[in-house]
Amino acid sequence: MPKLAVLILTYNEEENIVPCIESAAFADEVVVIDSGSGDRTVELARQRGAKVVVRKFDGFGPQRNFALTQTDAEWVMYLDADERITPDLAAEMRRTADSGEPAAYEILRHNYAFGQRIMYGGFRPDYSLRFYPRSAVSWEGVVHEQATVTLPKRRLRGVMHHHTYTDWDRYFIKFNSYTTLMARKMHEQGKRGGMLHIIIRPWWAFFRVYIIQSGWRDGRIGFFLSAFHFFYTMVKYVKLSHLQKPMGADK
């Protein structure tokens, strides 16, 4: 039988890591790549039997590629610390790996924010390419990274649960981190962050997720998430503008 490993990237995930690893108990191996957590993430992961490797964070793509070198499993599944594998999905992945039929598989995520399942807006449908033979995948990008695969893509029927945000403090920590990483990525790609981008693009971002993608149907939390997507877009362009020309540099 082929070996199956679940790979998890972590940073200060002591609240999530135990249920995350428990949902991956069906796997032959669980590998945690930690970015230098200051809480009990590493300790708790090791207590649950995971292999833990600490590596300085240099982007999500590089971290995921490094994770591939830490297992000899034929099949790998990437799992974020705030995600949970359902029993049906676990059984389906095990059957798929045992069948020996090579393909790269997308998995549907059911997203939850502040205890509510988010059905619309930018969260649905949310298919993520996560399960494949280890030799068939590599990753690109420091944020919103993408998997490059050499096999045909298919979809599994099972789902995983994504508890994306549980408190506003954590939301804004990620907000700040992701806008910084996105601004750097856009700067490296030669994109511009002028005043028109800062003014116009946030409105389009809000209109797309709240109106076109029906974020309004998620009620109060749908409005909040759409509104903060407006500010997310504005902030990343402000940070991009600052990278191109630090504020006050023309004074």
The pLDDT tens digits of the residues spanning 193-207 come to: 889 999 999 999 999
Kindly report the average pLDDT of the chain as a whole number.
91
pLDDT of residue 246: 59
What is the gyration radius of the CA atoms in the chain, in angstroms?
A: 19
pLDDT of residue 170: 82
Residue 81 pLDDT exceeds 70? yes
pLDDT of residue 251: 46
What structural domains and CATH numbers belong to the chain?
4-165 (3.90.550.10), 168-244 (no CATH)
% of the chain with per-residue pLDDT over 90: 72
How much is the average pLDDT of 175-204? 91
pLDDT of residue 240: 94
Which pLDDT tens digit goes with each residue over 149-173? Answer: 989 999 999 999 999 888 898 889 8
The CA distance from 186 to 53, in Å, is 30
Contacts of residues 220-226 at CB distance under 8 Å and 24 or more positions apart, as own/partner, are 221/113, 221/114, 221/116, 221/118, 222/118, 222/120, 222/121, 225/113, 225/118, 225/121, 225/122, 225/123, 226/121
Taking residue 171's Cβ as centre, other Cβ atoms within 10 Å add up to 17
Range name among 125-134, 145-154, 155-164, 227-236 with the lowest pLDDT average: 145-154
Instruction: Determine whether 58 is exposed, middle or buried from the number of CB atoms within 10 Å of its CB (0-12, 13-18, 19+).
Output: exposed
Instruction: Write down the pTM of the prediction.
Output: 0.81
pLDDT of residue 164: 86
Taking residue 75's Cβ as centre, other Cβ atoms within 10 Å add up to 26
Instruction: Give the confidence band of 189 by pLDDT, cuts at 50, 70, 90.
Output: confident
Residue 174 pLDDT exceeds 90? no
Residue 248 pLDDT exceeds 60? no
Question: Which of these, 60, 68, 81, lies nearest to 12 by C-alpha position?
Answer: 81
How much is the average pLDDT of 178-195? 89
Which pLDDT tens digit goes with each residue over 32-51? Answer: 999 999 999 999 999 999 99
How much is the average pLDDT of 186-194? 88
Residue 64 pLDDT exceeds 60? yes
pLDDT of residue 146: 77
Residue 186 pLDDT exceeds 70? yes
